[in-house]
Amino acid sequence: MANHSIPTSTLEPAVELPSHKESHTSHSPLLRDFIIGFADGLTVPFALTAGLSSLGNPHLVILAGLAELFAGSISMGLGAYLATMTETKHYAVEEARERKEVTEKPGAEEEEIFEIFETYGIRRQEAQGVVDGLKRDQGAWVQFMMDFELRLEKPDKRGAWLAGLVMAVAYFFGGLLPMIPYFAFHNVNHALFTSIGITVLILLVFGYVKAILTGCRRWDSVVSALQTLVVGVVAAGVSYGIVRAVNGSVHVAA
């Protein structure tokens, strides 16, 4: 009887697929807090001091600028802290509700899983294995519903105070930079133009670096830098014009 088995030497070797490493840009919530705090700190106090400089009193500009700087820093820091704590509480409430539903209404929750997969074009019979696997682990089931049904990410409660501190420091540092010329010059116009030059440079650099850190291409980063500059200039220009107009109307009324 003839042997029709295929010799081992004629078998094709297994093809090794090249390894694939994905490159994604990820940044922590603390970086987000720093960007928001620094951006607000750079534009709001700068716009305020630029507007008050139209009054021609550098002492007034410094006092008002510092008052806004400290108040803004505290407000931003507390806001970031309270926002994180609120998100943490909201997540805990939704997680407890989801755990209760999985325990008391497993059939309805299973249907919700199938509905979630249907939004991705996956049929019931294809998703059945995943559903059966989740039913064996209630913790994984609840986490799946939190991730895909409610689309909630668990906040880090322990980092709430750190988020507030980062936001406050970033706001204070961003707002202090445009004010430095007012401490150095007695002439308010010299201080104003120097502050404008410093702020324009910082806005451009900050807008570019912010875009690079968030994964944008170089050209998009340049556009982001220009957009950041335009926002700062418009805010300062509007503030300057409003203060000058109000001051002029007060003098006319007097």
pLDDT value for 250: 59
Q: Which residues, in sequence order, are CB contacts of 150 under 8 Å at separation 6+?
A: 94, 98
10-residue mean pLDDT profile of the chain (254 residues): values are: 47 51 60 86 82 82 91 93 90 93 92 92 92 91 92 82 92 91 88 87 84 79 82 75 71 56
Q: d(Cα 40, Cα 69) in Å, to the nearest integer?
A: 11
pTM over 0.85: no
Q: Contact 171/76 with Cβ under 8 angstroms?
A: yes
Q: Quick one: pLDDT at residue 173?
A: 93
Residue in 54, 52, 56 with CA at minimum distance from that of residue 64:
52
In the chain, what is the straight-line distance between the N-terminal and C-terminal CA atoms, in Å?
Answer: 121
- Residue with token string 């919700």: 112
Name the residue type at position 34.
Answer: F
pLDDT of residue 102: 92
The answer to whether the CB of 197 falls within 8 A of the CB of 50 is no
